[in-house]
């Protein structure tokens, strides 16, 4: 584990970033979005825009914080560390896949 990764694993600012991302994913679930619709959302809500702004602010703060603490990293390295955590949230908060046809797997009652 790299030193900046060890720092991030205990940073409250990372936790705040993940909390905002989780709230954003949950909002997408409430709206019934699919993953594909995230590329070009069919609608934009005030809450969605506020959460996206908060997420960007938290991400920028996190990058600034790591650099201010003296770690010699660039933004892409920090993003590489954060992305698997965001993907885990994606797994825990799945969106509608857009495929509403039956798959005939015969497990509809289970």
- Is residue 101 included in any domain, yes or no? no
- Is residue 71 included in any domain, yes or no? yes
Instruction: Give residue 47's domain range.
Output: 3-92
Q: Give the mean model confidence (pLDDT) for residues 25-33.
A: 95
Supply φ then ψ for residue 34, to 5 degrees.
-100, 165
- Is residue 10 included in any domain, yes or no? yes
Quick one: pLDDT at residue 105? 53
59 Cβ contact list (under 8 Å, min separation 6): 17, 82
- Is residue 19 included in any domain, yes or no? yes
Quick one: pLDDT at residue 69? 96
Domains contained in the chain, number? 1
pLDDT tens for each residue of 47-93: 999 999 999 999 999 999 999 999 999 999 999 999 999 999 999 99
pLDDT bin (cut points 50, 70, 90) of residue 96 is: confident
- Is residue 33 included in any domain, yes or no? yes
pLDDT bin (cut points 50, 70, 90) of residue 110 is: very low
- Is residue 105 included in any domain, yes or no? no
């Amino acid at each position: 584990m790299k030193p900046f990764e060890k720092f991030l694993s205990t940073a409250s600012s990372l936790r705040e970033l993940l909390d905002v991302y989780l709230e954003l994913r949950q909002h997408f679930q409430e709206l019934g979005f699919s993953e594909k619709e995230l590329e070009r959302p069919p609608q934009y809500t005030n809450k969605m825009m506020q959460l996206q702004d908060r997420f960007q602010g938290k991400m920028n703060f996190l990058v600034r914080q790591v650099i201010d603490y003296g770690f010699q990293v660039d933004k892409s390295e920090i993003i590489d560390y954060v992305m698997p955590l965001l993907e885990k949230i994606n797994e825990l908060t799945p969106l509608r896949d857009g495929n509403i046809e039956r798959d005939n797997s015969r497990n509809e009652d289970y």
